[in-house]
Structure 1
Amino acid sequence: MTTQTVQIFHLEVDAETLEGDYRFLVNGRDVKYISVQGNGILSGDDMCFAPILLPSLPSFPLGDWNVGHIAMNDHGAAAFAWTRREDLPSITDPWHPRQVDILDLNLLKSEKLRSNVWKCHLPSFFGNRSVIAKMANFHWEIGYYNNETKANLWIRDLDIAPEFLGHIIENGRIIGFLVECIDEARRAGHDDVDQCRRLLDKVHQAGIKHGDVNRHNFLVTKKRTWLVDWEHAQQCNETAILEEGANELERYLTDESGKGGTRTMTLEEVAA
């Protein structure tokens, strides 16, 4: 019997139903999207704890499939109810010439900044430079990154955001993108209102509304300020709408609620 290596890229478990959605890497090369029946197979904590979850799963079937569902069978054991090949959605209209396969990102050894954001190293593409990878974990998230990919095209010549470095592909479809990593940057605060306002004015003069202005989306270094996270951006020429964010800028920069903040971890921590 062939030994399988199964690792978790990402997981989401409903707190009420305990239905789980998982993105697995199988044998280091195949990405599988699997839902797991809730309320019966494992407890809520165990559904999120790799050392207990993974041994409790049935062997993954061979064959050409990328989506499956695990449920309890007639004998009370976890089993695959079905598997199939689906054409999962992709980011449309790629505009950058570079495309990087997700397997080249080595996410299992990368620093996870948020559920969908990683700090990676790709020596074959960028030498010793770190890059930021941002991607959809599941197909229902593609719309956000499709919009952010378009927004990065709109702003690419404005010098207001980290450089867009290319698209991330998984099994032939585009699921995210790479941008420049801004090292030694801090989040904006009250003392940065003027420079953040100048940056936001530049965005508005280009007829673009960022859509998610908060202190964590301004990166401040000793030399300059950057604006990041463009998934809610819109092209807009209505002055009143554009000024809504600018008028509240000082309040946004003093907000300590944590909106837009980051949580740093690696996938090895998920498996611990």
Structure 2
Amino acid sequence: MDLEILNQEIDDDEAAYRVRVVRRVHYLTISRKPTAVLDIDTLCRPYLLIPKLPPFPDGNWTKMRISQAANGETEHVLSWDPLDGIHSLWHPRQVDVLSLKRTADHKARVKEVQFDGRILLSKVAIFEWWIPRLQRETEFYERISKDHCLGSGSVAPTFLGHIMEQERCVGFLLEKIDGRHPLLDDHPACEAALRKLHCIGWVHGDVNICNFLVHQSTGHVKLIDFEYAEPFEETKAQLELQKLKDEFSQMTER
């Protein structure tokens, strides 16, 4: 069976998996309560898990749940219920998620990928509960694009297209910034970038050092991760300027 575990999240109640089967992506949940179907070592290791999975039928089903039935037997149930997706499809480019060749990992949801001869960043809602955050971030990029706030002087990376998983949108492509996280001397440049974001009508919503990138050659600062971005409010803007100051103050104490 041509099957690959793309992502997994495991807690005390269940194990969730994003699975590629040939050229389709499906979602698998394995119950751990009230009775565990498989031991934790198997659940955590795809090479142990895959041989124990039932056959995955062809078709456009979306989810499979494996649990223990009342008679003690293991059962699996398929669902064809549609999954939530990002609905702000404003960019002309739409790219199949399985066509992207991964070259490096940053986070579970953020990868370096090869597309059209370039190395870009992909950001994907690997499970359905991540969709609202990426919906908000997609809307942010749409708004600043309409306001002509993109390009080399932008405070954000360039949005390069929507990532599709079958019929739904699950993420987006961004330019890869040749940058580093700020050092202590970068405080003025980071504050200027944050103020520029405020001037174009937005607050970031999650100000921390990791969400600023300083370009290696130019020193230009861009912000990333706009999952919590909101329209500008003076009080919130002042709070995040203070938060940024506190972040740099903590750097001096390390």
- After TM superposition, the score normalised by the length of structure 2 is 0.89
Superposed CA deviations along residues 108-159 of structure 1, whole A, max 9, x for unmatched, are: x432210111100013xxx2x2100001011121100000001112333331
State the superposition RMSD in angstroms: 1.8
Q: Does 1:209 pair with 2:209?
A: no
1:134 to 112, 119, 123: 123
Identify which of structures 1 and 2 has the higher relative contact order when contacts are C-alpha pairs closer than 8 Å and 6+ apart. Answer: 1
Q: Does 1:11 pair with 2:5?
A: no
Amino acid across the alignment from 1:219: L
Q: Does 1:86 pair with 2:81?
A: yes
Structure 2 CA distance for aligned equivalents of residues 225 and 239 of structure 1: 22
Greater fraction of residues in strand: 2
Residue 204 of structure 1 deviates from its aligned partner by 0.8
Counterpart of 1:261 in structure 2 is none
> Partner of 2:138: helix, strand, or coil?
helix
1:43 to 39, 58, 62: 39
Moved over 6 A (4+): none
Counterpart of 1:164 in structure 2 is 159
> Partner of 2:48: helix, strand, or coil?
helix
Pairwise mapping of residues 133-152 of structure 1 onto structure 2 (< 5 A)?
A: 133-152=122-141
Structure 2 CA distance for aligned equivalents of residues 239 and 110 of structure 1: 41
Identify unmatched segments of 5+ residues in structure 1.
Answer: 257-272
- Kept in 2: contact 1:188–1:253 (CA 8 A): no
Counterpart of 2:95 in structure 1 is 100
1:114 to 107, 110, 135: 107
Residue 161 of structure 1 deviates from its aligned partner by 1.0
Residue 95 of structure 1 deviates from its aligned partner by 1.2
> Partner of 1:137: helix, strand, or coil?
coil
- After TM superposition, the score normalised by the length of structure 1 is 0.83
May I ask how many residue pairs the two structures share in their alignment?
241
Structure 2 CA distance for aligned equivalents of residues 86 and 254 of structure 1: 49
Structure 2 CA distance for aligned equivalents of residues 60 and 74 of structure 1: 23
Amino acid across the alignment from 1:117: V
Structure 2 CA distance for aligned equivalents of residues 75 and 231 of structure 1: 45
1:235 to 225, 231, 238: 231
Identify unmatched segments of 5+ residues in structure 2.
Answer: none
Structure 1 stretch displaced more, 62-71 or 162-171 = 62-71
- Kept in 1: contact 2:62–2:82 (CA 8 A): no
Structure 1 stretch displaced more, 164-173 or 147-156 = 147-156
- Kept in 2: contact 1:190–1:250 (CA 8 A): no
Amino acid across the alignment from 2:241: A
**Percent of paired sites with the same residue:** 34
Amino acid across the alignment from 2:212: F
Superposed CA deviations along residues 20-69 of structure 1, whole A, max 9, x for unmatched, are: 11110002x01111111114222223211111111111111334312111
Structure 1 CA distance for aligned equivalents of residues 52 and 250 of structure 2: 43
Residue 168 of structure 1 deviates from its aligned partner by 0.4
> Partner of 1:71: helix, strand, or coil?
strand
Amino acid across the alignment from 1:8: I
- Kept in 2: contact 1:215–1:255 (CA 8 A): no
> Partner of 2:89: helix, strand, or coil?
coil
